Amino acid sequence: MNVPTLETARLILNAHTAEDVLRNFAIWSNPQVVKHISGTPSTLQQCWWRVLRYAGHWSLNNYGYWAVREKASGEYIGDVGFQDNLRAIGPVFDVYPEAGWVFDPRFHGLGYATEAMTAVLGWSESVMKSRLTACLIAPQNQASLKLSKKLGYRVIGEAPVQDVPTLILLRG
């Protein structure tokens, strides 16, 4: 499946390209970005694999992650979308596409995550088979919890992810 382009007032969401790897690395190697995700900055190789995984999700699942680009500058500033990581958490989570978002810290607090995810969720409601989506958020990640609530996610439980207690949220 081709990655659909989504456009908002300030953003363009489209397919990742090989040229995005260095910006992806700049984002995912930032300790502030990974603080509540894995705690470990990504290597360049891991970012290349991530971009390949993004493309693979679209190819195999007909959904995936978009590159988020600021309309005014054209700069790649983050990733939003859905994935299926085969996490084996259980039926309250595993059967739903897993939503996620990450942005370069220079663009935090501008409402871009809300804007991008609102577009992505609108797309998912009109295109995807299930209207239900899930996400995982570290309890300490107050910014993502605030965003998830704004987007309509609600906490339904907790599960260990990489041996760390993590909240399970559901929307739909």
Domain count, the chain: 1
In a domain, 109, yes or no: yes
In a domain, 1, yes or no: no
Against a cut of 0.85, is the pTM above it? Answer: yes
Instruction: Quote the CA–CA distance of 50 and 156 in Å, as a whole number.
Output: 28
pLDDT in tens, the chain (172 residues): 699 999 999 999 999 999 999 999 999 999 999 998 888 899 999 999 999 999 999 999 999 999 999 999 999 999 999 999 888 888 778 889 999 999 999 999 999 999 999 999 999 998 887 779 999 999 999 999 999 999 999 999 999 888 888 999 999 8
Question: Which CATH number covers residue 17?
Answer: 3.40.630.30
Q: For residue 44, give the 3-state DSSP assignment.
A: helix
Angle between helix 21-28 and 44-61 (nearest 10): 110
Contact 30, 105 (CB under 8 A): yes
Domain span at 43? 6-171
In a domain, 94, yes or no: yes
CA neighbor of 20 nearest in space, from 61, 41, 66, 51: 51
